[in-house]
Amino acid sequence: MKRYQNFLAAFSTVFGLLFATVLGTADYFTPDSYLVEEGSGVNWQNNLFSVVKKGSSEVSADTRDSKTYRAELMLYRTVPVKSVQVEEVKNASVTLGGMPFGIKMFTNGIMVVGLADIKTETGCFNPATEAGLKVGDIITSVNGKSACSNLDVEKIVEGSGGRPIQFTADRGGQKVSASVQPVRDESDGEYKVGLWVRDSTAGIGTMTFYDPAEKCFAGLGHGICDSDTGRLMPLLSGDVVPVTISGITKGLKGTPGELRGYFTDEMADGTLFENVASGVYGTLNKTVEGKPVKVAMKQEVKTGPAQIYTTISGNTPKLYSIEIEKIDYRDGVQSKNLILHITDQQLLSQTGGIVQGMSGSPIIQDGKLVGAVTHVFVNDPTRGYGIFAESMLAESKNVSKQEQKLAS
């Protein structure tokens, strides 16, 4: 009897630990908030989870047409996992993108992308490093004056006569000041401070959708980052320009491919208003024509067959088959919610899989917009990441609200 009791005690302990682990895992890998269509509840495609409403609904102060309430996320409709917030919204429809667009962007400040030693008659020095400046800093002023371009910095340094230069920079939201002592370069006799800086960038991406209700577009599915530092580039201003895809560099293992194209007109098609982790957002000077498509809530997305809508030649998008292999529902995951596998043989034969320039290509499943392509796996170009369309739509609406406030 005692042996049986010990066995039961051990079994209960192990079972309790396993149960706690399951609940902890479910808590970690499930969101803390959900959007649902008016009059419906949260129903996961795999039927593991359900939401039980508790308490009365409250009208959202921001929109006046949505309601929020607290609810309990249940495992197998029986075991409570955690309390979550649910917001009822009108089901949104957008115009599908898939077409390429060009980006011309200027940074809000000047980004430090490198530091280099200067060879002088008395040795090698890096004045910027010695003064405390770092790669990734955003220079906002030089000698008390706003710095808007690389040329501004270059002129001040070259004309310093060796006198100290006062730099002010933004470092992760913190203001940093540095007094930099220029040195004379032995090779050309010019004064230098050992900084490599960048004030602009340009490239090609894919538009995910156009929201006719808000007159706002979303693209890329990830932010525009500096190629040297990997840091998000702060947006001062930017234009959307028309582009035509003229060729493809095929993706290979270890070497990402890319779409090659050219800007077809210097006149801007639109304006960028935001460059954030979930993509780029702005307005267009023209209405995008196309068939409306509903945006899926994240809990509606499931593993299995899907399609991407993208352009690999000219400026006309086409549908290509993919497989959604894995879904990460965590709130903190940005631009890497989905793992995608290209299965379309035509696309594979032409591009090798996902290539640079495809970022933002819409992902369609069961007739709804569920996400956008964001990244390619360097060692396997047939696979890559995607972001939930729900996240991009929410950011798009925030941008629209901000612009309406500025206009009023």
Question: Within its chain, how far is the Cα of 408 from the centroid?
Answer: 29
Cα–Cα distance for residue pair 154/142, rounded to 1 Å: 11
In this structure, the chain runs to a length of 408
Sign of CA dihedral 146, 152, 157, 160: negative
How would you label 71-80 residue by residue, b for 16+ Cβ within 10 Å and e otherwise?
Answer: bebbbeeeee
- Expressed in angstroms, the distance from the first to the final Cα of the chain is 80
Torsion, CA 64, CA 70, CA 74, CA 78, rounded to 10: -120
User: In this structure, is the dihedral angle defined by the CA atoms of residues 12, 17, 22 and 26, taken in order, positive or negative?
Assistant: positive
DSSP-derived secondary structure letter, 398: H
Q: What is the DSSP letter of 346?
A: H
Q: Rounded to an integer, what distance in angstroms lies between the CA atom of residue 319 and that of residue 218?
A: 19
Report the SS3 class of residue 10: helix
Give me 64's structure tokens.
Answer: 């006046």
* Cα-based distances in Å from 25 to 19, 43, 48, 202: 10, 19, 13, 42
Strand partners, 165: 180
List the catalytic residues.
Answer: 222, 344, 359
Contact 104, 200 (CB under 8 A): yes
What's the distance, CA 157 to chain centroid? 35
Q: Please answer whether residues 349 and 365 qualify as being in contact, where contact means their C-beta atoms are separated by less than 8 angstroms.
A: no
DSSP H stretches of helix in 132-204: 150-158
Q: Tell which residue, 163, 169, 277, has the closest CA to residue 225.
A: 277
